[in-house]
Amino acid sequence: MKLINNKVLGIFIAALAVNCFSVTDVAAQNPVESGKPTADYKPAFAGQTRIAGIKTSTSLEISIINGKLENPWAISVLPNGGFLITQKQGTMVVLTADGKSSKKITGLPKVDASGQGGLLDVTLDPNFAKNRMVYFAYSEPQTKGVVLAIAKGKLSADETKIENQKVIYRATPAHTGKLQYGSRIVFDKNGDMFVSAGERSDKEIRIQAQHLNSSLGKILHLTTEGKAVANGPFAGKADARPEIYAYGLRNPDGLAINPQTGDLWEAEFGPRGGDELNLIKPGKNYGWPIITYGIEYSGKAVGEGIQQKEGMEQPVYYWNPVISPGSIAFYNSNVIPEWKGNLFVGGLSGSHIIRLVIKENKVVGEERLLEGKGERFRDLVEKDGVLYAVTDNGNLYKIAKR
């Protein structure tokens, strides 16, 4: 079932022309995905994919508050309600709360913006109101290859520069390929960072997602100085990096902590099929490239073509065909009560925002929002009951209760 019927669709399109419209959804039960999967794999448990569809009953007002961004990749909300946004080609901008006025930020490092690289995630320090520190990820050119670098610096009082920026961590080894860097940065309750790092895609290197002496294909647990958080699951283990928190990941572009439970969640791209949502636990192996619900882009099986193996974690949920999860964000507000605690996923190739209802760490309902608009939803953030999203087309959406 579609989000709206054909009659309402006409109103939807007309309203979009003025960048503002409202939506009131109705109940539904069929799964939102009806397309043929790329492979006829059986889920490991009921509800692991194609769960029953749901619909938001709250009337929503959706508007584009800025349509002039340049390949935005990540968005953070500043204490004053403004936005700090990275752009793939290596620039960063600050927007006012209404999205109308912007400033460009200088003092940023050189990035390799080819392929899937560029200036990637940006996150505010938990004490930003006092120290004005920001942390950001980017693809850093090396003499031989490119690495994912994590850097920090101080946003100047006039919001025009990153001062004293420095790299605090590099996800090594370097690789000449230009794909699948990850990367998201989220702070835990102790003020340390979880960082997701991609496995860089190519067959000769992706197996390093299984190697504990490599940063690739991992969730890393770092201090604000880029050191391993003490007493990690691999601390003291021979031939293992102590900063590794979890491994066996492909391209983890979604990372978020559930504010109600403190659990760490991750979403990653599968190959053809098999996009995953994972509940991340310390020391666990999430299987890539040994197990997957996807296939190679050539149509062949990945490795032995298996989906389950002892000692490897199953995804909580997966999509087939892919939706390309570019980001995830929890809704933690009472403004829209039916959304409280729900997880929202930015779909790139899927061209919609996914709403997932999660109960006892299982997905029990799925909805598609802003479907049919031809947008690639790159990043999401919730602030004061409003959901904001940036798209590859350069738009900043505001999704609020009407």
Looking up residue 289, the CATH number of its domain turns out to be 2.120.10.30
Q: Residue 335: inside a domain, yes or no?
A: no
Residue 348's pLDDT is: 98
pLDDT at 372: 84
Residue 334 lies in a domain: no
Structural domain contains residue 168: yes
CA distance 387 to 401: 10
Query: How many distinct structural domains can be found in the chain?
Result: 1
Residue spans of the chain under pLDDT 70: 1-28
* DSSP3 helix / strand / coil % (the chain, rounded to 5): 5, 40, 50
pLDDT of residue 336: 98
pLDDT in tens, 191-208: 999 999 999 999 999 999
Q: What are the CB-based long-range contacts (under 8 Å, 24+) for 260-265? A: 260/330, 260/332, 260/341, 262/189, 263/361, 264/186, 264/188, 264/194, 264/219, 265/328, 265/330, 265/343
pLDDT of residue 28: 52
Q: Determine the structural domain holding residue 137 and report its residue range.
A: 6-32+61-317
Q: Is residue 260 part of a domain?
A: yes
Sign of the dihedral through C-alpha 48, 53, 59, 65: positive
Residue 329 lies inside a defined structural domain of this protein: no
The answer to whether residue 362 sits within a structural domain is no
Backbone angles phi, psi at 6, to 5 degrees: -65, -35
Given this model, what pLDDT does residue 29 score? 82
Q: What is the pLDDT of residue 287?
A: 98
Take residue 334 and report the two structure tokens written for it.
Answer: 């009472």
Whole-angstrom distance, CA of residue 319 vs CA of residue 119? 27
Amino acid at site 105: I
Structure tokens at 271: 């190959």
Query: What residues have CB less than 8 Å from 402, skipping those under 6 apart?
Result: 22, 58, 59, 60, 61
Is 234 domain-assigned? Answer: yes
Residue 176 · residue 145 · CB < 8 Å? yes
Per-residue model confidence (pLDDT) at position 101:
87
- Rounded to whole angstroms, the Cα distance separating 293 from 316 reads 12
Determine the pLDDT at residue 17.
Answer: 35
Q: Would you say residue 164 lies in a domain?
A: yes
